[in-house]
Amino acid sequence: MSLANDKVSATSHELFQAQAHVWNHIFQFINSMSLKCAVQLGIPDVIHNHGQPISLSNLISGLNVHPSKAHFIARLMRILVHSNFFAQDQQVQLPLLPNNNNNNENIVHQDLDDEAEEKAVVVYSLTPASRLLLKEAPLSTTQFLLMILDPVVTDPFHLMGT
């Protein structure tokens, strides 16, 4: 009886692996379209020009996106981080409060309790792959990416089965 259970278990595992393989191929286009979107928006260049890891709010303010679509940038970045095109990290930000003499140039850190003192912010940085997507990079693949993912090139693939 245990041989039968082992065979069923192996078959179940194989079925699960086969389903995962098929689903991965079905949804693979999402990675390509997300990458194309990032290049069209100029996300790699905004991060690069920032000079250090950039928060989502700073990234959005550096992009030319309509405010009604700004909340989608977080989803886009999640896909691109998962695909290793960008790196994500947490950066602790300490609140800065003006000192008592009301001089805006002198900002000091005041003691607060530990919970209020530190706030972790998600920041994004470039990876070796996203450096190839910089418009002015010597080995930039931006134009190639845009050409290959252009509807003129991709539309004929929709007709392969007809």
Question: What is the Cα–Cα distance from 153 to 146, expressed in whole angstroms?
Answer: 10
pLDDT at position 107: 46
Write out the residue range of the structural domain in which residue 144 sits. 2-159
Contact yes or no for 69/62 (Cβ under 8 A): no
Question: What is the Cα–Cα distance from 77 to 51, expressed in whole angstroms?
Answer: 18
The total domain count for the chain is: 1
What CATH number does residue 61 fall under? 1.10.10.10
For the segment 101-134, what is each residue's pLDDT rounded down to a tens digit?
Answer: 555 554 444 555 555 567 889 999 999 999 999 9
Q: Can you list the pairs that 71-77 forms with residues at least 24 positions away whose Cβ atoms lie under 8 Å?
A: 76/34, 76/37, 76/38, 76/43, 77/43, 77/124
Q: Give the pTM.
A: 0.75
Per-block average pLDDT, block size 10, for the chain (162 residues)? 60 92 95 97 98 96 92 96 96 65 50 62 96 96 97 93 85
Question: C-alpha angle 147/153/156, rounded to 5°?
Answer: 170
